[in-house]
Copies of this chain bind each other. A is one copy, B any other.
Amino acid sequence: MRVHIPIFDGFDELDAIGPYEVFRTASNVGADCDVSLVTLTEQDTVTASKGLCVVPDGVFPPPSAAGAADLLVVPGGGWNDDGGGVRREVEAGDLPDAIRAHYETGTEVASVCTGAMLLERAGVLEGRPAVTHRSAIADLRAAGVEVVERRVVDAGSVVTAGGITSGIDLALHLLKRAFDGETAAAVAEELEHDRTGDVAVVR
């Protein structure tokens, strides 16, 4: 499974890096899984919404081209800011167009957080329930999308996640779906994403 995470200036750090770490760890535990952080056009560095500066892995290949994705995981970030991140990409339209082109050729599409607004703009949420970051749920509903308020909403070829940290749950769910529960469980264990025994104060 080839996973591409399209990044753009203003993407939210964890929205992208959470799933990236899940899929890379899957590969480390033996799943045939490859993940890259890609940009729509050549870009030396990409600056995320909270300031992290990343060197992307390369450019987003067109759907059906050699090296094209089996799964896109679209991060959010910046929907509620003037002119940054997702808001700018929704207005520009090139990334939504690329998402739609992938979707139409059979690529599975997923989003984390306000990445759902890019999927909505791409037209891939028509007739499909979805979720986004809490701060954008009213906007997603206003766009006519049926919102299901869960961490991950699996609507078949389109899967969406709620805010930021739910991207880790999304990626684990996608792993379970594409491979098996053992792979997802092994990755969750390696990431210690099990939520037991929260804080011990032992001074």
The interface of chain A, by Cβ under 8 A from chain B, is 12-14, 17-18, 20-21, 24-25, 28, 37, 45, 50-55, 57, 129, 133-134, 148-156, 162-166, 168-169, 173, 189-193, 195-203
B54–A200 contact, CB under 8 A? no
| Neighbour of A198 across the interface among B12, B151, B190, CB < 8 A | B151
A164-B133 Cα distance, complex, nearest whole Å: 23
Report the nearest B residue to A192, measured CB to CB.
Answer: B163
Q: A154-B201, A155-B202, A198-B150 are in contact. Are A52 and B192 (CB under 8 A)?
A: no
Copies in the complex: 2
| Neighbour of A54 across the interface among B53, B166, B191, B196, CB < 8 A | B53
A191–B164 contact, CB under 8 A? yes
Give, as a whole number of angstroms, the nearest-CB distance from A198 to chain B: 5
Q: Which residues of chain B come closer than 8 Å to A153, judged between CB atoms?
A: 200, 202
A-B contact pairs, 30 of them (CB 8 A): A12-B21, A13-B17, A13-B20, A14-B18, A14-B191, A17-B52, A20-B50, A20-B52, A21-B50, A24-B51, A37-B52, A52-B54, A134-B192, A148-B200, A150-B197, A150-B199, A151-B195, A151-B196, A152-B198, A154-B203, A156-B203, A162-B192, A163-B190, A163-B192, A164-B192, A164-B193, A165-B168, A165-B192, A169-B199, A195-B195
